[in-house]
Chain A
Amino acid sequence: MSNVFAQRRQKLLSLKALRGTSPAPAHTEETCPACGGVVRRRDLVIARYVCPLCGHHYPIGAYYRLSLVLDKGTFRELDGNLTSNDPLSFPGYREKLEQARHRTGMNEGVVTATGRIGGQKVAVGALDNRFFMGSMSAALGEKVTRLVEFAEKYKLPLILFSASGGARMQEGILSLMQMAKTSAALERFSQKGGLFISVLTHPTTGGVTASFASLGDIMLAEPGALIGSAGPRVIEQTIGEKLPEGFQRAEYLLEHGFLDAIVPRTHLRDTLIRLLRLHGKGGSDRGK
């Protein structure tokens, strides 16, 4: 019996998480942080949180992100209850975790799931900026690793949307070790012929960039996304000068050979469908 309530609670929590990214009252207005233009919230939602004036891509939550690319009704979350245990007994971490959980309705900074894209079954994950900046915790690394292993076991294409501030400081060295863990899992997956599409969204930095996010067979990014190993502030301090305009942005990485394509949010689903088909796993007429 308690299980029924547990499931209901889970559902309410995921709805709460969804609500964080879904339409607010239509009459409210937003000022675009990129162009300063005033946009009606409703238009912003219709445009999937891309500024209709300048094309600025707002950061979006993981559930909403996945809803934009998955076929309707196919989302099945994996390991949704996995969370951190404060392994270093770090002062204040437990409370902060509790707050983040309460605020977002999520247990970790990544949502992993199976679903279908254009009819093709996939293993998919999305990091969420609102939960500790999508930083790499042991639980986040574990969920990503389990997703990779799941994809390997069921021979599914793997798609990961990254958005991360880097390491979870409060988990110290165990956060660092997740870089090795996730990279090792992806290497195995790759050796067995698995397809990994890595999509970098704003911002993807630090340990996530220096591990799983950079290991895609296909590397995509959203326009304007900040992508880097070291953060811009650290680099400025090191070299003692201002960084050039556009440094570490998706367009810069494309130019330097680290991306296959920059794909606007509105085209992501279609691009993924196309890529899955190109890998012979799309099913010729199963798509919509």
Chain B
Amino acid sequence: MENKLTPAQRVALARHQERPGTADLIAALFTDFFEQRGDRLCQDDGSILGGIALFHGRPVTVIGHRKGRTLEEHLAYHFGMPSPEGYRKAQRLMKQAEKFGRPVITFIDTPGAYPGLEAEARGQGEAIARTLALSSSLTVPVISIVTGEGGSGGALALGVGNKVLMLENAVYSVLSPEGFAAILWKDSSRSDEACDVMKLTAADLLELGVIDEVIPEPAGGAHTDLHALCKTLDGILTRELNALCKQSGQALAAGRYKKFRQMGAMALRKERP
């Protein structure tokens, strides 16, 4: 069935109410998760969930977007749209991971960074930029998995990994299809059309060299069988961690730089002078 889905149908699956979120995946994939909260500057932003956990006995730092399940959670976490405090918490956790030599595993599932007044006043742009800069240079392995919606810079901030993986029905794009249609055609109702031209599916992104691998989902989507999904994820994480943990810190940072340095190389052309 998977190949028959349209991009718009995948967007719907990626946003499905029941789709496993970061909290579900952490509970299923890791043991002894200890949540770390706060940015140590002013606040704790619950839309970024992070902490230390064990993966088959190996300590790792886990960071992901959290949309929440109930209405109260949705509102408290701005539907998974982080404020600067969330990104600064992520930076804090990344630095700690580096200090203690823990691999970082990130789960990406956000419509985008929160476009609010306070978020801007506290430097949303700066917070994302610093997160990008920091994560690009970490000397520990970073594995990023796009699990649901990967929307704009708010998603990318957790996406600078040595390996970037993506669930089959997840989407990853410069902007939500609605926002895209609104900007380009001044008509947000043309979002289905936007889905078709945006190249936001896992298969498209693999072809564009933006991600490394597509992780198959159970038939019907990730929400139909969390157990099966996590079995697949467990195998892939084990394989990737084993491979990356053999590399030196410097090689990891250099590898990540090289990976992102070539992004969009196929999009360049030399105009006849």
* B: interface residue count bin: 35 or more
* Chain B residues within an 8 Å CB radius of A129: none
B132–A179 CB distance below 8 A:
yes
Known: A169-B180, A230-B113, A256-B121. A85 touches B260 (CB 8 A): no
Which residues of chain A in 1-55 are interfacial with respect to chain B, using CB atoms and an 8 Å cutoff? 6-7, 9-10
A141–B124 CB distance below 8 A:
no
* Chain A residues within an 8 Å CB radius of B244: none
Which residues of chain B in 194-239 are interfacial with respect to chain A, using CB atoms and an 8 Å cutoff? 197-200, 205, 208, 210
Which residue in B180, B208, B260 is a CB contact (below 8 Å) of A87?
B208
| A188 vs B261: C-alpha distance when bound (angstroms) | 12
A209–B125 CB distance below 8 A:
yes
Q: Which residue of B lies closest to A186 (CB)?
A: B133
B267–A84 CB distance below 8 A:
yes
B153–A179 CB distance below 8 A:
yes
The stretch among A113-121, A232-240, A269-277 that forms the contact with chain B is A232-240
A238–B115 CB distance below 8 A:
yes
Known: A137-B267, A179-B153. A256 touches B123 (CB 8 A): yes
B159–A180 CB distance below 8 A:
yes
* Chain A residues within an 8 Å CB radius of B271: 81-83, 101, 107
Q: Is A284 an interface residue (CB 8 A)?
A: no
Q: Is B273 an interface residue (CB 8 A)?
A: yes
| A90 vs B185: C-alpha distance when bound (angstroms) | 13
A181–B261 CB distance below 8 A:
yes
Which residue in B113, B116, B137, B267 is a CB contact (below 8 Å) of A171?
B267
| A214 vs B130: C-alpha distance when bound (angstroms) | 8
B116–A238 CB distance below 8 A:
yes
B120–A235 CB distance below 8 A:
yes
Known: A80-B273, A169-B175, A243-B117. A210 touches B124 (CB 8 A): yes
Q: Which residue of A lies closest to B205 (CB)?
A: A173
A172–B200 CB distance below 8 A:
yes
| A91 vs B197: C-alpha distance when bound (angstroms) | 8
* Chain A residues within an 8 Å CB radius of B52: none
How far in angstroms is the closest Cβ of chain B from A264? Answer: 23
Interface core residue of B184, B200, B271 (most chain A CB under 10 Å) = B271
Known: A81-B273, A85-B266. A172 touches B159 (CB 8 A): no
Which residue in A6, A176, A183 is a CB contact (below 8 Å) of B273?
A6
A235–B128 CB distance below 8 A:
no
| A86 vs B159: C-alpha distance when bound (angstroms) | 24
| A185 vs B259: C-alpha distance when bound (angstroms) | 12
| A9 vs B123: C-alpha distance when bound (angstroms) | 44
Which residue in A85, A185, A213, A247 is a CB contact (below 8 Å) of B120?
A247
B172–A173 CB distance below 8 A:
yes
The binding surface of chain B is classed by DSSP as helix
A212–B120 CB distance below 8 A:
no
B136–A142 CB distance below 8 A:
no
Known: A169-B180, A181-B260. A211 touches B128 (CB 8 A): yes
How far in angstroms is the closest Cβ of chain A from B131? Answer: 9
| A244 vs B173: C-alpha distance when bound (angstroms) | 31
A177–B210 CB distance below 8 A:
yes
A174–B208 CB distance below 8 A:
yes
Known: A176-B156, A180-B263, A230-B120. A85 touches B269 (CB 8 A): yes
Which residue in A171, A227, A256 is a CB contact (below 8 Å) of B122?
A256
Q: Is A175 an interface residue (CB 8 A)?
A: yes
* Chain A residues within an 8 Å CB radius of B35: none
Known: A138-B268, A180-B160. A7 touches B205 (CB 8 A): no
B174–A175 CB distance below 8 A:
yes
Which residues of chain A in 188-222 are interfacial with respect to chain B, using CB atoms and an 8 Å cutoff? 188, 190-191, 206-207, 209-215
How far in angstroms is the closest Cβ of chain B from A144? Answer: 12
B62-87: CB near A (< 8 Å → 1, else 0) gives 00000000000000000000000000
Q: Is A228 an interface residue (CB 8 A)?
A: yes
Interface core residue of B113, B117, B121, B263 (most chain A CB under 10 Å) = B263
| A207 vs B173: C-alpha distance when bound (angstroms) | 13
Q: Is B264 an interface residue (CB 8 A)?
A: yes
B155-175: CB near A (< 8 Å → 1, else 0) gives 010011000000000001111
B267–A85 CB distance below 8 A:
yes
A184–B267 CB distance below 8 A:
no
A184–B126 CB distance below 8 A:
no
B102-135: CB near A (< 8 Å → 1, else 0) gives 0000000000011111011111111011101110
Question: 8 closest A-B pairs (Cβ-Cβ)?
Answer: A138-B264, A230-B115, A138-B267, A184-B136, A87-B267, A209-B125, A177-B263, A229-B125
Q: 28 A–B contact pairs at CB < 8 A?
A: A7-B273, A81-B270, A82-B268, A82-B271, A84-B267, A84-B269, A85-B267, A87-B267, A137-B267, A138-B267, A141-B264, A169-B184, A171-B267, A172-B198, A173-B172, A173-B210, A177-B210, A180-B156, A187-B134, A188-B257, A210-B153, A214-B123, A214-B130, A215-B130, A228-B124, A230-B115, A234-B115, A239-B116
Task: Point out residues on A near B: beta carbons under 8 Å.
Answer: 6-7, 9-10, 80-88, 90-91, 101, 107, 137-139, 141-142, 145, 167, 169-181, 183-188, 190-191, 206-207, 209-215, 227-230, 234-235, 238-239, 243, 247-248, 252, 256-258
